[in-house]
Structure 1
Amino acid sequence: MAGILREPQGNQVEERYCRAFDFSSSLLYFPVRHHSPACSVHLQKTISRYKPDIILIEGPSDADRLIPYIANAGSAPPFCIYYSYDDKEELISGEQEKYRAYYPFLEYSPEYIAIKMAAGLGIPAAFIDLPYAALLVNRKEETDTRYRYNEDTEYEVNSYSALAAKKAGFRTYAEFWEACYEIPGADMETGAFVRAMFYMASFMRMAEDTGKNEENAGISGDRLENLLRETCMAEHIAGAMKKYQKVLVVCGAFHVPGLMDILNVDAGGSGADSNGNGAAVSDLRGYDKNNTAVYLMPYTFAEMDGRKGYAAGMPFPAYYQEIWKQFAAGAGVSNTVFDNAALEFIIRTARFLRGKNPVSIPDEVNALGMAKSLASLRGKKAPGVYDLIDGVRSAFVKGDINQTVTAELDYLLRILSGLGAGKVASTSDTIVPPLVQNFRELCREFRIKTDTILQKEITLDILKKSGHYRKSQFFHQMSFLETGFCKRSSGPDYVTGASKNLVREIWTFRFSPQVETALIDQSVYGATIAEACGTIAARQFRDSMTAEEAGKLLIAAEVMGLESFYDTWRDEIDEVLDREGNFISAVSCLGSLRYLKNLETMLCSEPDAFLLPLIARCYRRGVDLMEAGRNTSGDDEQKTCESLRSLYALTVEEPTVCNPRLLADQVEAILNEGFCNSRFYGALLAIHEKQGRIDMAELAQRINARLVSSQEIPDEAASFIGGVFLLGRDALFAGQPILEEIDRVIARMDDDEFLTLLPNFRQAFTSFLPTETDRLGRMIAKLHGLFASDVVRTEIVSQEELSLGMRLDKLAAAAMDKWGIMQ
């Protein structure tokens, strides 16, 4: 380290280190890198030697009540402190967002070791950092709604640490850290290790130039955050020094110089007041503590991986879990520990690959040898995780070694990151949010076991059994919350309308710790499962929701059993309908409301009182937007016409709610305006006849006029006929006039025009039933003086001809196979 950490200020840093790590002082700082096994090894030695009266730990100061549960022998990391803040007071923005933070622990995290050892020694431990909510409301820059503790990249991007890693010849700071701290760390004397930590943090701090003497108004981003946090930690330290003789502070190494500046503690110090750097915590902007919640929840190794977005984490946490396991087992020196860890992961990878790829025992020996050789070339005492990865790549990968991802490396990287999750043993209500309590209560009510992780399947007959209906609502709620608890494998999809012919629902479900983890994550939205679903559903109104989306949301609320959802959000839903400017979306919403009415009739016999007025309102909005169909084109053309058909169908099925005259007047107005999309015009014309505004003779005349005007554009004629057939195909069977007009237009076409038009005409006839197509064919034949027998000729194939054809087919296949021709 001496060759890298060389600065003119070295003497000053040494003097400060001696004051910070003085075992004769009433205040001892232990600087850490979060989630470092080497730091934890020396922290254990420091605690045993110093014998503090209290251990102060970097962590949210309003989470102290969780410390006994963190120390509980039945809890197994990784787990995290889950923190939420509901900005009801609009202290952060006018959006009233719900903010969440995660403070994770691994078994080898120094903070976790400090808590466990404090419990073992019978001394208090306390968190001293600024509460998450206080940090949120006092930051000046935009704040994300999700946050993980120390979510920064200060080690990778800091000008000093990045340059140190580069000059030492390492690819990243993480590899530099492992080589200079993790691998040799356990063999170092504790004072030397802490000195190296202190020097690195001090020089990083000098390089960053925190500007701590500026006014708060002139500091932004990470600098302001560090100042706020360090001011809070300093006040807690000063308070503890007034009550205890020996205080041990465990915090990130980067913060130690800042804390010393604020406290200005001398070698035998008793903790002076703040020297004016930063505002006192009492001067910070306040907030309503009732809007915060703090719980303990299981976490996963993957979420702890520094490669996957957690900037404060070290890469490959499961690998370092194995390192810690080796230290805890008394493996001793680093050479043994890291050699054993490398061998363990090589064997596990080979065992996985053996059934797929030819990985032999010599390959395993070569992988370990290569890892050790690479470590030696890189100046390391033992192979680290990066040497291990390179060794496996060299010995196991049989193809192109330059491939970014291979089966061998993919599995190795996954197990180095970690596939497991932690657990929180205590079931005390004081550390479990009401949402999780409600989930457990509902599982007991529905006799769903949560003491097994085996997948179960259940069939629900919701129309016949009220208990099944309630259970279905519960499953729909859990699915809506995306907890991973259940999945509908069969049955009707009420929201999309798929499989509506089915009655029974089939659900698969499986309990796992991740289910409750997901629920804790959603606990900011309510105290019960239903309340959380309602809150999340209601939030969607903020995102410029369309009428189509609103209709689907109302169905989702119904199948989830969210009582009074519409009553609560009546104004917002009405506003969505009133501002809707898309005809297709408005009619889609109308279809959802119609389906919802039928669903409620089936389930409850009587639809909700709000539904019929809402259908009427949506119907009127759809009629108002029909005008836009005149200019429809492209992909929307068919959808617009189908929406028009749905609108008309409602006037037939629900004439008291959907006034037919309102639609009829709008249809007539559009038809009288002249220019109109051909397909849409045809659909309007069919509705006009069905509603009795014109008779069959006038319909035939109008069809003739449109066809004549479109004869120069065959596609227009076919599109028009398609619109007529969509709603009025029965008009063809009422008499010959309409059919004669269509036949006359086709007869005037030459072959090229007809072939161009044929695909569109075929599409126009797709709405006919087979019996209708047969009947229509007979009518056309009669129109040309023919009989069906003259047109339809059925070729009868004898049994001998069929057998000969099958034989020839087999001979041809054999010949093609012989000649290597793909069949």
Structure 2
Amino acid sequence: MASEPLLLGVRHHGPGSARAVRRALAAFQPEVILIEGPPEADALVPYAGDEDMRAPVALLGYPADNPDPKLRASFWPLAEFSPEWQAIRWAVARDVPVRFVDMPAAVRLAAPPSPAVPEAGSVRLDPIGALAEAAGYDDPERWWEDVVEHRFNHPAPAPAPHSTSAADPSAPASDSAADHSVPASDSAADHSVPAADSAADPAAVADDGMGGVGLFAGDGGVHVDEAELAAASAPFAAIAEAMTVVRAHSPEPGEAERVEEERREAYMRIGLRGALKEFERVAVVCGAWHVPALTAPLPSASADAAVVRGLPKVKVAMTWVPWTHARLASWQGYGAGVRSPGWYHHLFTSVDAHVIERWLVRAAGVLRKDGVPVSSAHVIEATRLADALATMRGRPLAGLAEVTDAAHAVLCDGDDLRLALINRRLVVGDRLGRVPDQTPGVPIAKDVAGSQRRLRLPPKVERRELKLDLRQAFDLERSRLLHRLRLLGVEWGKVLAASKGKGTFREEWEIAWQPEFAVDLVEAGAYGTTVLEAATARVAELALSAATLADVTALVERCLLADLPDALPGVLDALDERMALDADVAHLMDALPALARTLRYGDVRGTDLSALRDVTLGMITRICVGLPAAVGGLDDTAAAVMRDRIDGVQGALALVDEAEAQARWQAVLAGLSTRDDLHGLLTGRMNRLLLDAGAVDVDEIGERMALVLTVGVPVARTAAWIEGFLAGDGLLLVHDERLLALVDAWLTGIPADAFVEVLPLLRRTFSGYPAPQRRMIGERAANIGTARPGTGSDDEVDPARGALLLPVAARLLGRELHV
């Protein structure tokens, strides 16, 4: 048997497969392990044994030295319960070499994307899942336990008392107990791999507790108990037999998929032949689908060489990157995904026989954390229900389906939203992996990692809020890092809109780190080796390619927020050039608010803004000169857009705080506010802005409103004027009864046929007011012209009632009351 390779066909990300692989490797004691994966990753295998490495992780392959922003990359994700990961960790702990034997990443990345990629759930991606579905199982792992693990279980003797071993951190938590072959929930436990399985030096151990798998170096060789090996490899022999039948009856793939599969399996056979020439004992861990293609008789070496000859290649780089359970569940990356990685992780790492109970306790914890009252009695009843459901369904043990149904009925009281919460946080989970600092990678990624440690911003996948005080140097550095990464396309943080609108020294973010940011950082690496250098280069590129003036002004704001002083001069030059070439006043009005915000709040970040102030004041002058020609002849839609632009300029001028610029703007509004040829929406709005700024008094506004509300003015124009004047805030009508009376008199005098036309405009205006303002306006309108002596209205004072308040007011003011 030593001359034949041990073929271990697995289900990618299968905890049952992972346990079986560890057991088979311990029994076979291979000299080399071949794993389905890119050969370029061979040099990265030692990092998998680092104590700082924590799954889930993924191999990332990307073209090296490629400045193309449309960078292609590939991931090969691995979870703690992935058979490939357990094989790697087992080998690293014992200094057994590992080789990857799939299609090289250099070939994969050089080829154009395949137009026909197998969909999630297809036989080729998850053949064991297909077998489980054919057998009536909704969970492939439960099928594996019932059909494979239970069928081939066998008793194991107690470990030898003199056995000594070094702990293998890759072993599942249950490896520290007696059960190493099936999940802790299995009552008929298979105790075939005791703790001594983790021996660091197998050749130095006389008895590793494998029940007769004697390992000794007395004659320079490794001797294996053939019976134990046969038992450990029996499940994989059965899987290989089943895969042969499945492949024979599987639907024919498309041409592109067929060609890619032939090339991949040719590369696997080439790697297998090379290993067999060097080693006697070769183990292969690959997807179960590929086992028949690696089983003798194999095609000739020349035939396989012909299949892969002449394929295009690119220079690639490989590294380890953190991954998440959520990404495993979304079927992203290479290989099959899993719908319930959190559940599989629980099965693989359980330390005792109470798998179901512990899972439901965790589910109760999730609900309690969200404010849902769940007691111990709920957990007990849910456990009983899960066991009863398994019995009714003819299953030896409760699986995820039974546990989910029990949690839905008992813990969630039938509430689908609560169950969705358990599924998201527990069944899928948000576990994020970790890689050692010394892992090779692009320089900018290392710079980001260093900044995250220095600024105490660990990359966590769960969303959380981050409140920053920009007056503090530490928080200011955090803000700059987040803004710079956003410029590079790494959307780690999102500024909360409400906080940004306040425009104060406070900034609130929502941050959540995603694994695919590793690819974004690879792309950003084309611009520089540090975040500051790359962001500066990226801003310069964006300034040259900006399509509109507003794009450039927005870039100025982002440049200031990210604190990129070296990039600012180039952006201001681009802004100056755009302003000179753009004669459209509307574009200038759209661009001004971003510049004003930058001027107003840039000083919080300690940036010299003198050059930007000159550009902004020049833009205001151009807007004032061009506005009279831009507001004429507008229809309803265009007038509404222009009104919003005028509001934007008004707000921007308040931020700029330049008296001369504000005076020039108000003079332009004053000249336009009385023109009869403008749309009523605009003249009404201009009059309101002049009133709010104190440029005209209430009496003047009352006269202008009275002119507009006369019978000779078309009702539609009058309604538009009123809408423009009153939009945004109803306090004016609350406190000024004269204006309210004018509006009330005009409204009550509208003819019945015209009232139907005006009503939608007025309703839209008044519906924007807060409910308390609408109520007060209604109360005041009801009392217009009806005030009576002694009612306490604004025009009448009741001395008797007022005298009751005088003693209290005098006491509050500390004065003596003189009657």
What is the SS of the residue equivalent to 1:285? coil
CA distance in 2 between counterparts of 1:651 and 1:629 reads: 30
Residue pair 2:60, 2:73 contacting (<8 A) in 1 also: yes
CA distance in 2 between counterparts of 1:439 and 1:175 reads: 42
Is 2:306 aligned against 1:265?
no
CA distance in 2 between counterparts of 1:761 and 1:246 reads: 81
Is 2:322 aligned against 1:295?
no
CA distance in 2 between counterparts of 1:649 and 1:506 reads: 21
CA distance in 2 between counterparts of 1:613 and 1:314 reads: 56
1:417 paired residue number: 428
Residue pair 2:539, 2:567 contacting (<8 A) in 1 also: no
CA distance in 2 between counterparts of 1:190 and 1:297 reads: 33
Picking from 129, 132, 140, the partner of 2:102 is 129
Picking from 343, 354, 376, the partner of 2:357 is 343
Shift of 1:372: 4.2
What is the SS of the residue equivalent to 1:278? helix
Is 2:348 aligned against 1:324?
yes
What is the SS of the residue equivalent to 1:639? helix
CA distance in 1 between counterparts of 2:617 and 2:109 reads: 44
Residue pair 1:458, 1:507 contacting (<8 A) in 2 also: yes
CA distance in 2 between counterparts of 1:182 and 1:586 reads: 72
Could you state the TM-score of these two structures normalised by the residue count of structure 2?
Answer: 0.64
Q: Map Cα deviations across residues 216-271 of structure 1 (whole Å, 9 max, x no partner).
A: xx832x4344334334333333443444444332211212334569xx638xxxx7
Shift of 1:68: 0.6
1:523 paired residue number: 521
Higher relative contact order (CA 8 A, sep 6+): 2
Residue pair 1:151, 1:310 contacting (<8 A) in 2 also: no
Identity between Structure 1 and Structure 2 (%): 19
1:593 paired residue number: 595
1:138 paired residue number: 111
Residue pair 2:325, 2:430 contacting (<8 A) in 1 also: yes
Q: Map Cα deviations across residues 512-551 of structure 1 (whole Å, 9 max, x no partner).
A: xx86967645422233333565678789889997655653
Shift of 1:579: 10
2:680 paired residue number: 678
Picking from 242, 255, 258, the partner of 1:219 is 255
Shift of 1:712: 3.2
What is the SS of the residue equivalent to 1:123? coil
Shift of 1:436: 4.4
Residue pair 1:632, 1:640 contacting (<8 A) in 2 also: no
Residue pair 2:444, 2:530 contacting (<8 A) in 1 also: yes
Q: Map Cα deviations across residues 643-680 of structure 1 (whole Å, 9 max, x no partner).
A: 56579999995989x9979x979x99x999x9642223
Taking a change above 3 Å as real, the CA distance of residues 319 and 142 of structure 1, as seen in their structure-2 partners, is same
CA distance in 1 between counterparts of 2:632 and 2:268 reads: 64
Q: Map Cα deviations across residues 733-788 of structure 1 (whole Å, 9 max, x no partner).
A: xxxxxx99x9999988863459968959998xx9xxxxxxxxxxxxxx9xxxxxxx
Shift of 1:600: 4.6
Residue pair 1:156, 1:162 contacting (<8 A) in 2 also: no
Residue pair 1:79, 1:422 contacting (<8 A) in 2 also: yes
CA distance in 2 between counterparts of 1:547 and 1:60 reads: 47
Is 2:403 aligned against 1:388?
yes
Could you tell me which amino acid in structure 1 is paired with residue 245 of structure 2?
Answer: F
Picking from 58, 62, 70, the partner of 2:36 is 58
CA distance in 2 between counterparts of 1:86 and 1:353 reads: 46
Could you tell me which amino acid in structure 2 is paired with residue 793 of structure 1?
Answer: E
Q: Map Cα deviations across residues 51-99 of structure 1 (whole Å, 9 max, x no partner).
A: 4332121122222222111122443322222344489576xxxxx3234
Is 2:630 aligned against 1:626?
yes
2:123 paired residue number: 155
1:694 paired residue number: none
CA distance in 1 between counterparts of 2:232 and 2:616 reads: 73
Shift of 1:181: 4.0
Residue pair 1:637, 1:679 contacting (<8 A) in 2 also: no
Could you tell me which amino acid in structure 2 is paired with residue 423 of structure 1?
Answer: R
Could you tell me which amino acid in structure 1 is paired with residue 248 of structure 2?
Answer: M
**Which runs of structure 2 are paired with 1:732-771 in the superposition (5 Å)?**
751-752=749-750
What is the SS of the residue equivalent to 1:44? helix
Q: Map Cα deviations across residues 608-648 of structure 1 (whole Å, 9 max, x no partner).
A: 64774577579758948935871243853641442565799
CA distance in 2 between counterparts of 1:142 and 1:547 reads: 39
Could you tell me which amino acid in structure 1 is paired with residue 647 of structure 2?
Answer: E
Shift of 1:31: 1.6
Shift of 1:201: 2.9
CA distance in 1 between counterparts of 2:411 and 2:457 reads: 45
Shift of 1:682: 5.8
Taking a change above 3 Å as real, the CA distance of residues 497 and 678 of structure 1, as seen in their structure-2 partners, is same
CA distance in 1 between counterparts of 2:749 and 2:232 reads: 95
CA distance in 2 between counterparts of 1:309 and 1:440 reads: 23
Could you tell me which amino acid in structure 2 is paired with residue 63 of structure 1?
Answer: A
CA distance in 1 between counterparts of 2:607 and 2:234 reads: 79
Structure 1, unaligned stretches of length 5 or more?
Answer: 1-22, 91-95, 145-149, 212-217, 332-338, 689-698, 727-738, 767-780, 782-788, 803-823
Is 2:284 aligned against 1:249?
yes
1:734 paired residue number: none
Taking a change above 3 Å as real, the CA distance of residues 654 and 314 of structure 1, as seen in their structure-2 partners, is same
What is the SS of the residue equivalent to 2:85? helix
CA distance in 1 between counterparts of 2:450 and 2:423 reads: 41
**Which runs of structure 2 are paired with 1:228-239 in the superposition (5 Å)?**
228-239=263-274
Taking a change above 3 Å as real, the CA distance of residues 543 and 106 of structure 1, as seen in their structure-2 partners, is farther
CA distance in 2 between counterparts of 1:391 and 1:364 reads: 5
Taking a change above 3 Å as real, the CA distance of residues 626 and 66 of structure 1, as seen in their structure-2 partners, is farther
CA distance in 1 between counterparts of 2:21 and 2:460 reads: 38
Q: Map Cα deviations across residues 370-395 of structure 1 (whole Å, 9 max, x no partner).
A: 144145x2xx443333333345556x
Give the aligned length.
Answer: 681
1:48 paired residue number: 26
What is the SS of the residue equivalent to 1:76? coil
Residue pair 1:38, 1:185 contacting (<8 A) in 2 also: no
Shift of 1:709: 9.3
**Which runs of structure 2 are paired with 1:164-563 in the superposition (5 Å)?**
165=132, 167-171=134-138, 176=143, 179-181=146-148, 184=151, 189-208=231-250, 219-220=255-256, 222-259=257-294, 265=298, 272-275=301-304, 278-280=307-309, 283-289=310-316, 292=317, 294-305=318-329, 312-325=336-349, 340-349=354-363, 355-356=373-374, 359=377, 363=381, 366-374=384-392, 377=394, 380-393=395-408, 396=410, 399-400=413-414, 404-406=416-418, 410-411=421-422, 414-418=425-429, 420-424=431-435, 426-428=436-438, 430-431=439-440, 433-439=442-448, 441-442=450-451, 448=456, 460=469, 462=471, 470=477, 472-474=479-481, 476-477=483-484, 496-498=500-502, 500=503, 502-503=504-505, 505=506, 520=518, 522-524=520-522, 525-526=524-525, 527-531=529-533, 533=535, 548=550, 550-563=552-565
What is the SS of the residue equivalent to 1:195? helix
Shift of 1:434: 2.7
Taking a change above 3 Å as real, the CA distance of residues 357 and 255 of structure 1, as seen in their structure-2 partners, is same
Shift of 1:440: 5.2
Could you tell me which amino acid in structure 2 is paired with residue 48 of structure 1?
Answer: A
CA distance in 2 between counterparts of 1:468 and 1:392 reads: 43
Taking a change above 3 Å as real, the CA distance of residues 358 and 251 of structure 1, as seen in their structure-2 partners, is closer
Residue pair 1:346, 1:367 contacting (<8 A) in 2 also: no
Could you tell me which amino acid in structure 2 is paired with residue 417 of structure 1?
Answer: V
CA distance in 1 between counterparts of 2:584 and 2:151 reads: 67
Q: Which is further off, 104-113 or 79-88?
A: 79-88
Q: Map Cα deviations across residues 8-40 of structure 1 (whole Å, 9 max, x no partner).
A: xxxxxxxxxxxxxxx343544322111223323
Taking a change above 3 Å as real, the CA distance of residues 578 and 265 of structure 1, as seen in their structure-2 partners, is farther
CA distance in 2 between counterparts of 1:659 and 1:550 reads: 27
Taking a change above 3 Å as real, the CA distance of residues 536 and 640 of structure 1, as seen in their structure-2 partners, is same
Taking a change above 3 Å as real, the CA distance of residues 479 and 711 of structure 1, as seen in their structure-2 partners, is same
Residue pair 1:346, 1:368 contacting (<8 A) in 2 also: no
